[in-house]
Homo-oligomer: A and B are copies of this chain.
Amino acid sequence: LEKVMNGRQPTDLMLRCTVLDAEGNVKTISGQFKKSDLSAEHQLNPRDLRKIDSRVPNLVPTILVRKQAILVNILHIRALIKADTVVLFDSYGSADSRLHSVYLYHLEHNLKLKGSGLPYEFRALESTLLSVLSALEEEMVFIRTLVSGLLAELEDNIDHDRFKRLLHYSRRLASFQSRAKLVGEAIDEVLTQDEDMVAMYLTDKKNGVAHSSLEHEELEMLLESFSKQVEEIVNEVGNIDTNVQSTQEIVELILDSNRNALLALDLKVSIATFGVGTGALMTGLLGMNLTNHFESHPYAFYAMTGAAGLASFLVAFIGFRKLANLRKIGLSRSPKPQRPWLPLPLRRRSQDGWF
């Protein structure tokens, strides 16, 4: 426990960051910075930087608005956006992933593109959210491919190993769904707080341009657009999930119904075995070493053979009839469909348009 408590106390750690300057050029690649220097330089609370610390895995994405900076911590991106600088924190030591380098490339490009009308910090934010979005989309497409492939295989054959894969996929689906939802919530949280949105106009703040708490249309449209797209992904994942759910339910029904069919076949075999057994009992009786007085009757053998065969057949026939009765199941085999009394106006309605 002490460890946990100490681990939470601010210690002076080095963070590896990539810094982009006001022109969009990379100033430092994976440089080492002291945590305390960073928080002093960017006027941040040490508590804020703790989230950035890559050694702690984080589930809940956040967009924090501070005096001179926006701290974005979503999925693979941990960035500090200021009015003229962007600091990217390397997530796991060295510059690692394809996603990250595409992000960096796009960010550089977008920051250099001054003509778009958006201030520096929003262009950085746009690139960041775009990278998040494409990561989500990519994984969504990937999971969708996996799941629909598996469901297509289930069309052909329901079996053991496919259930195990289904388990793995639905675990992934659930985890992805929760992540995507949390990203959406992080964006929406900013959208619902007017002060935060105004505080995000870092360039204007720096230049002393005041915004009233309702002037943030540009940013709102930017965020709303991303929010919608994340919502779309969440929705699609929800559809996949519903699909998996209803497949599971129906598969269970099919297995149940198949089990009944197996049981019925088993019963047929049992009945036939019973029939044969009855015949065998008869032959056994005559096989006893006792005087049955027909020992030398010339046709007794044929008669008994016929009798045993007939007994077997009869017994089996009766059994099959009983079984056939049991197998006829429907939802309405009740002798007469009862029509319960119902207040008139309601009754009419229920014929017209209600179930």
Residues of A within 8 A of B (CB): 1-2, 4-5, 8, 45, 47, 57-60, 62, 75-76, 91-92, 96-100, 102, 106, 130-131, 134-135, 137-139, 142, 146, 148, 151, 154-161, 163-167, 170-171, 174-175, 178-179, 182, 221, 225, 228, 231-232, 235-236, 238-240, 242-243, 246-267, 269-274, 276-281, 283-298, 300-301, 304-305, 308, 312, 319, 322-323, 326, 328-334, 338, 340-346, 348-350, 352-355
Contact = CB atoms under 8 A, between A and B. Distances in A.
A343 B45 contact: no
Given A256-B256, A276-B280, 6 more contacts: A45-B221, A155-B330, A164-B334, A175-B350, A280-B280, A280-B281
Contact of A269 (B228, B319, B338): B319
A255 B254 contact: no
Nearest to A143: B340
A197 to B, nearest CB: 15
A267 B262 contact: yes
Contact of A174 (B239, B254, B322, B340): B239
Contact of A249 (B60, B159, B164, B248): B248
A159 B342 CA distance: 26
10 contacts: A5-B106, A57-B354, A98-B343, A139-B346, A263-B266, A265-B326, A273-B277, A277-B277, A281-B308, A285-B305
A60 to B, nearest CB: 5
Contacts of A292: 289-290, 301
Contacts of A238: 178
A72 to B, nearest CB: 14
A135 B344 CA distance: 10
B178 A250 contact: no
Contact of A276 (B96, B138, B163, B277): B277
Secondary structure call for the A interface: helix
Given A92-B348, A164-B250, A228-B60, A259 B260 contact: yes
A321 to B, nearest CB: 11
A348 B293 CA distance: 80
B323 A258 contact: no
Nearest to A238: B178
A243 B334 contact: no
B138 A343 contact: yes
A253 B305 contact: no
Nearest to A271: B269
B301 A290 contact: yes
A259 B269 contact: no
Contacts of A293: 298, 301
Contacts of A158: 257, 329-331
Nearest to A240: B355
Contact of A270 (B76, B159, B228, B273): B273
Contacts of A295: 289-291
Query: Which of A8, A146, A270, A331 has the most C-beta atoms of chain B within 10 angstroms of its own C-beta?
Result: A331
B329 A258 contact: yes
A280 B284 contact: yes
A257 B256 CA distance: 9
